[in-house]
Chain A
Amino acid sequence: MKVELQNLTKIFPSRNKKSNEEVIAVNDFTLTIPDGKLVGLLGPSGCGKSTTLYMISGLQKASSGKIFFGEEDVTNVSPENRGVGLVFQNYALYPHMTVKQNILFPLQNLTGKDKLPKNEMIERAYEVARLVQIDDLMERKPNELSGGQQQRVAIARALVKMPRILLLDEPLSNLDARLRLQTREEIRRIQKETGITTIFVTHDQEEAMSISDMIIVMKLGIVQQVGKPQDIYDDPTNLFVAKFLGTPPINVFDGKISGGKLYIGEDAVLDVKGVEDKDVFVGIRPEGFVPSDKGEFNCKLNNVEVMGRDVSIVSTNSASLNPVIRSIVSSEYVKTIAEDQETIAYSLIPHKVFIFDKETEERICF
């Protein structure tokens, strides 16, 4: 099912009657999510991503704007009638019911023509339990399950009624690192197998990048960029998006453009034709550095971290806004670095270098 958000806005009124400070949690969100995609809503905490999810579920009412599922306007439809499945951050499994009863619960709520005979309900419950691989845990209570198992029960409960849209709120935040990797693959697999349009919320860019068909980066209630993970990484619209995506994070420098050349400190590092002279922020991805004797960009060398296939060169530059500059280069470069070497020169790969306006922090293309 296609999901369409039109100028969706959520304003929380101020708690304090004296001050009129309203909180705009989501500001004028317009987006179309194509059918059958896995979409990640990404942003730092407090950016309105969960509020957006809850508005899609209907648990939060939109202050203004519209929500469409397919062609149907569901803005004023109550959550009961939206036909969405929602997995809560702490799963909200009913503690007094077994796994089986938890999964059966949404089916038992069906009335009228949707009502299923009992054996069919149980069949459906087992079918979805097999899909998330918990069919051997059906008689357990939630408190007898591990976090990852509870997570899968929650997904099974959301899936069993065949929702039009599946929503996941920070689905992996309660899991340990290893389980997180495994579960995000599971979510991807389950989504592929069911083909249900799925929207999940996360603050972890790696999580969002690794499994999503499409990610939406938000900041302070405003959508920053929408697109395929690789496209956003390669082509960020502003400094926030560039900084938010990628590990190790992008290296940011103070720079200036003068006479068609980009300067970082005293070094003219790149030709930027057709851009007017001004002060800018320069973002360089870690893989954008190539150590070279003839390199234009001179830095002080700190140390080299060997990571096997790649090495990370840690250096410093007075124009850098990060404490250190981290570059990822192929390990064969290590041989070219002498023991007592104190400086290093890089040439830069132009499409890994982004320039941002100092005032607006918007990307300047060159």
Chain B
Amino acid sequence: MVENKHQWKAWIYLSPAIVLLLVFTVWPIINTLIMAFSENYSSLAGLGGQTFKFGLGNFQHVIGYKGFITCLKNTMLLCVLTVPLSTILALLISVCLNAIKPFQKLLQTIYFLPYVTNSIAIGMVFAAMFNIVGNISSQEQIITTAGIINNFLGLFGVEPINWINAGSSYWANITVMVVYIVWNALPFKILILLGGLQSVNKQYYDAAKIDSTPKWRVLTKITVPLLSPMIAYVVITGFIGGFKEYSSIVGIFDVGMGPAGDHGRLNTMVGYIYDSIKNQQGRASAAALILFGIIFVVTMINLYVSKKKTHY
């Protein structure tokens, strides 16, 4: 117990952290709430001493805006596609990694590398891989100078696809984004699942072996249920991360958030918030609160489902 007369000391020790948290976390949250519920909020006008009426105008604006619906749709789509895909892939890869004896540590390191690499840099590399280099006005040039992905597909006789350049289709763009986001999400998930796998008592597998359990059944009936707490964790954090998708799209399409000529086509919720932050802080705040609400609801659903499905 800290004695009463020394309590001020404790506060002094805590103050650096508390001050920083107050300035950079608590105040922004409060300010977001204020801005979101202020009609026609503008920070410049606010500095000039103007006061704003309380109202829901910002929310009405955001929800009514066509661009915001696009952002919402893109975000949802990327979440729904990438989270299950990356979780399943991560599970398979970690099971395989766990089964390999030689070079296990080396392979684990290699699989973890993307996690410590800058996502903008990775995005630029992916952009180059999916790119069509050169003047795309001539069809011939597309074929001869396509990026590595198109070259690879060419080995199987697939016509070069315009993945990300001007004139590319929406679904081509989404495919690139899914590949990139899944690839980027794998290392963290593998790390968590591999850690879980290595803490599973090996005797369960011995017991399964004695009972002549087929490999597939071992995976579905023993490994997955025993890993379920870790799987729930990566799914929940995956959805939270997915709803905040932004930098990956910037990495590939730049701040235009879409291929040349179709700017904004791949914009996301966070992208919308960034776009509005300069002149429309009120709307940006409202959008941020809406995003918070969505993540909150989805996480609650996730927790509810995982409580039913995870064991012990």
Partner-B contacts on A (CB < 8 A): 57-59, 78-81, 84-86, 88, 90, 92, 94-97, 105-106, 108-111, 141, 143, 157-158, 161
Contact = CB atoms under 8 A, between A and B. Distances in A.
Given A95-B226, A96-B225, A143-B312, A90 B213 contact: no
Contacts of B139: none
B311 A80 contact: no
Given A95-B311, A96-B226, A79 B204 contact: no
Interface stretch (B4-12, B82-90, B214-222): B214-222
B3 interface: no
B50 interface: no
Given A86-B207, A90-B203, A92-B201, A109 B312 contact: no
Nearest to B218: A109
A59 B206 contact: yes
A15 B39 CA distance: 73
Nearest to A142: B312
A92 B207 contact: yes
Contact of B211 (A58, A96, A97, A161): A161
Given A57-B210, A79-B210, A109-B211, 10 more contacts: A80-B209, A80-B213, A92-B206, A94-B225, A95-B311, A96-B226, A108-B217, A109-B217, A143-B312, A157-B211
B201 to A, nearest CB: 7
Contact of A109 (B201, B206, B214): B214
Residue with the greatest number of chain A CB neighbours at <10 A, chosen from B207, B210, B221, B312: B210
A109 B215 CA distance: 10
Interface size band for B: 10 to 19
B206 A94 contact: no
10 contacts: A79-B209, A80-B209, A88-B203, A90-B203, A94-B207, A94-B221, A95-B311, A105-B221, A106-B212, A109-B217
A106 B213 CA distance: 7
Nearest to A110: B212
A85 B210 contact: yes
B101 to A, nearest CB: 14
Contacts of A158: 210
Contacts of B209: 59, 78-80
Contact of A80 (B201, B204, B212, B226): B212
Nearest to B214: A109
Interface of B: 201, 203-204, 206-207, 209-214, 217, 221-222, 225-226, 228, 311-312
Nearest to B204: A92
Nearest to A86: B210
A160 to B, nearest CB: 9
A216 B119 CA distance: 64
A337 to B, nearest CB: 54
A59 B210 contact: yes
B46 to A, nearest CB: 56
Contact of B203 (A84, A92, A97, A161): A92
Nearest to A96: B311
Contacts of A86: 206-207, 210
Contacts of A90: 203
B211 A106 contact: yes
Contacts of B207: 86, 88, 92, 94
A158 to B, nearest CB: 8
A46 B90 CA distance: 40
Given A94-B222, A95-B311, A81 B212 contact: yes
Contacts of A108: 217
Contacts of B203: 88, 90, 92
B47 to A, nearest CB: 59
A302 to B, nearest CB: 48
Contacts of B312: 95-96, 141, 143
A162 to B, nearest CB: 12
A141 B225 CA distance: 14
Contacts of A59: 206, 209-210
Contacts of A92: 201, 203-204, 206-207
A263 B225 CA distance: 68
A306 B210 CA distance: 50
A18 B305 CA distance: 54
Contacts of A96: 225-226, 228, 311-312
Residue with the greatest number of chain A CB neighbours at <10 A, chosen from B211, B225, B226, B311: B211
B143 to A, nearest CB: 51
A149 B211 CA distance: 20
Contacts of A79: 206, 209-210, 212
Across the A-B interface, the 3 shortest Cβ-Cβ residue pairs: A96-B311, A106-B211, A80-B212
Contacts of A57: 210
A170 B32 CA distance: 64
Contacts of A161: 211
A111 B214 contact: yes
A127 B31 CA distance: 68
Contacts of B214: 109, 111
A78 B214 CA distance: 13
B226 A109 contact: no
A266 B99 CA distance: 67
A111 B211 CA distance: 12
Contacts of B222: 94
A80 B206 CA distance: 10
A251 to B, nearest CB: 41
A84 B210 contact: yes
Contacts of B228: 96
A140 to B, nearest CB: 13
